[in-house]
Structure 1
């Protein structure tokens, strides 16, 4: 593992500690303009999210009134009932977003894919930097919020289902993540600036409990309106 990745991962609790666990679970409250824009207002406003740390899997339970829970993997998205039986499923879900723009509505399976892909990536960051095939490199300094951050370019392998293969992570003087940049390819390559804050320590791992996502301009700066997505986490457990 590169020294760049090592320093960031160590600041969040270290890879040895992280690999003691196979799941992260949290109570999730979400807001922002995206959900209504996609015709899915209220479905995932309040739920519980669980993600795997050793494979690409995520679940939201309940999935609004539509299903008892969702299941996301890189290959398949499913909605399940209380008995665990599949109500709806879709393989190769990314292909269903072909031609989408930011304003294109989603169906429930597309919402489940987006939410699962998002929360799996978010809750596994920055430990994803240690995954096979993930590459990272320094990209200079960035001044924001009265601090000088290191900008790290990250490239994800084809084997991982993420919003975009090329992304950026910004870390503060303490090597904790402050911001993530990516282009949401399944929503017309919409550029986002994703800020994280309000860290808590759970089982020796540093985890941000507050996330706010705003539009990103071509020069890298963000704009304060609209708030695209807000995410607040509580009751976090690692098992």
Structure 2
């Protein structure tokens, strides 16, 4: 039986019937923030087109670090591939998550580290909240949260090992309309950083309701967030669905 809050949230974001008929979502966006300079890739993601499959975990970033390259992330088995725009393989890494072992927040990333992180992260972002209905994912409502004079209802979501994501247990916040406003997770491959990730400026694209502004901040252990300086900024310019 589906959690009642999840039912409301799915409907607010376009409905499960719509999502079930989709095979691909493509977004044009700008990804910024100081974390990329720390990782050795300042301004590398300022103009990206991200295409994701809705049925399997697969995402493609074009261009990727160079005008003539793209990055492909996929599972079954999990791997990240750097390709030319014609599909010729340049580099590939399987078991890509293992390459982050021992890394801390300040550890520089190579191009495949970068491709892995954005590959799985943006697949999760663009499939939320519909990914909560996928096999092995469990979503249940927990106590509400008060912030900035608002009360947000929350879903605690547990992801199976079959889905590459930030960490297995995450919390998602929704306003009175059922729209996503925040998500909390632990970025395991980024030194297990506690994160408060805010979503706003929702727009409708082909019936799908998508937040077009995302701001990612460090989160305190008590759940509060210092909103002065985002580590990552994401601004979506356009979304198309197939």
Q: Give the Cα–Cα distance (whole angstroms) in 2 for the partners of residues 151 and 159 of structure 1.
A: 24
Q: Give the Cα–Cα distance (whole angstroms) in 2 for the partners of residues 5 and 129 of structure 1.
A: 8
Alignment of 1:168-187 (within 5 A): 168-187=171-190
1:101 offset after TM fit, Å? Answer: 0.8
Aligned residue number for residue 54 of structure 2: 53
For the pair 1:222 / 2:225, whether they are aligned, the reply is: yes
For the pair 1:125 / 2:124, whether they are aligned, the reply is: no
1:124 offset after TM fit, Å? Answer: 0.4
Alpha-carbon contact 2:24-2:54 (below 8 Å) kept: yes
Q: Give the Cα–Cα distance (whole angstroms) in 2 for the partners of residues 140 and 182 of structure 1.
A: 17
1:66 offset after TM fit, Å? Answer: 7.0
Alpha-carbon contact 2:3-2:141 (below 8 Å) kept: no
1:67 offset after TM fit, Å? Answer: 4.7
Aligned residue number for residue 114 of structure 1: 117
Query: Which ranges of structure 1 fall in alignment gaps of 5 or more residues?
Result: none
Q: What whole-Å deviation, never above 9, does each CA across 1:124-152 have from its counterpart, x for those lacking one?
A: 00001110111112221111132100121
Aligned residue number for residue 81 of structure 1: 84
Q: Give the Cα–Cα distance (whole angstroms) in 2 for the partners of residues 34 and 23 of structure 1.
A: 29
Aligned residue number for residue 65 of structure 1: 66
Alpha-carbon contact 1:33-1:226 (below 8 Å) kept: no
Structure-2 change in CA distance of 1:66 and 1:163 (3 Å): farther
Alignment of 1:1-239 (within 5 A): 1-65=2-66, 67-74=68-75, 75-239=78-242
TM-score normalised by L of structure 1: 0.97
- Structure 1 residue ranges, 4+ long, deviating more than 4 angstroms after superposition: none
Q: Give the Cα–Cα distance (whole angstroms) in 2 for the partners of residues 141 and 19 of structure 1.
A: 29
Query: Which ranges of structure 2 fall in alignment gaps of 5 or more residues?
Result: none
TM-score normalised by L of structure 2: 0.96
Alpha-carbon contact 1:26-1:237 (below 8 Å) kept: yes
